[in-house]
Structure 1
């Protein structure tokens, strides 16, 4: 009898202290993250935070471009002709901690209007191209970084080029293939 009460008490306390308010920090929670999940949640983000309200029907498009192999970063492009808005949304996924030190899986979105998105992607591509010898000279030991707005980009080489993006408590890895696909697909989308 005492064992049952003890187990029940432990289960209740674990559930009680591991729950976090969805509104706490503006994060959304997920057990798994993929391009499909990113697309599903990014629609709400673009609709509410980027385009904004409207009393009439508003049409917009959103397309997932690439997800990093780590699953920590997904890029999506959006467009709304009626409001003359287009750009790139970066979907971040990873571990976060509450003020009490409880870990949870969270994701959040960063909006980059098309001019900013192209500028960031061009800077990254340029730095990687210009400093390829430096990065290759001592793999995983030679690093470089720069800050753009509230994001920091760490560039290094471990097998292939890697870009870690630090933003709002997230530390997400963007592998070269996903970065390159994002850049090319965004440029193609914005030309149309």
Structure 2
């Protein structure tokens, strides 16, 4: 009887720590670990040809170039270009932590696509908003904020000391895009696309 109970207990503990698929944001989950540009690039390729460029029986070419990963680990930006499909733009890779009923932590992710024109518009709106409100934002760091919505992304900007903090809220994700990563993404996108 003790052996049966021990086997049942072992089986129950294994079931309670089993990995679960999917999350409420439509992304995919995997065991929690630091997200990197390499992982974002790897996973973005499938998203690109499946959701942006479109599946095709013909052979097509495309590039995926990581622009920058935010130091928070919440956001990665990637440039894409396909001459055969005549499409280019930027993908925002969002990710965050989720817990199952057993308390096991997973990291979920999802991608947001901007075509070329939307990317320039989005990056300029953030830059211009910060520049136009620089005096207000720097007057009281951590307390003064600006916000706006671009498409379905809510953008919140504040300063922490002398650092710009850009938070993007989308599809259940709350990702921090520090000023350095934002500048790097914008500069690299403009240099490679123009």
Q: TM-score if structure 1 supplies the norm length?
A: 0.89
What residue is the counterpart of 1:27 in the other structure? Answer: 27
Q: Give unpaired runs (5+ residues) of structure 2.
A: none
Post-superposition shift, 1:176? 0.2
Aligned pairs for 1:122-133 within 5 A: 122-133=124-135
What secondary structure, in the 3-state scheme, does the structure 2 residue paired with 1:26 have?
Answer: coil
Q: 2:186 aligns to what?
A: 183
Alignment RMSD (CA, Å): 2.3
Trace 1:1-192 onto structure 2 (pairs within 5 A): 1=2, 4-5=6-7, 7-16=9-18, 19-22=19-22, 25-30=25-30, 31-32=32-33, 33-96=35-98, 104-159=106-161, 160-191=163-194
> Which runs of no fewer than 5 residues in structure 1 stay unpaired?
none
Shift of 1:120: 0.8
How many equivalent pairs are there? 189
In 2: Cα distance, 1:184 partner to 1:171 partner? 23
What are the superposed Cα offsets for residues 64-105 of structure 1, whole Å, 9 maximum, x if unpaired? 000000110000000011111000000001024679998631
Distance 1:127 1:139 in 2: 16
Q: Determine helix, strand or coil for the equivalent of 1:127.
A: helix
Q: Write 1 or 2 for the structure with the bigger share of helix.
A: 1
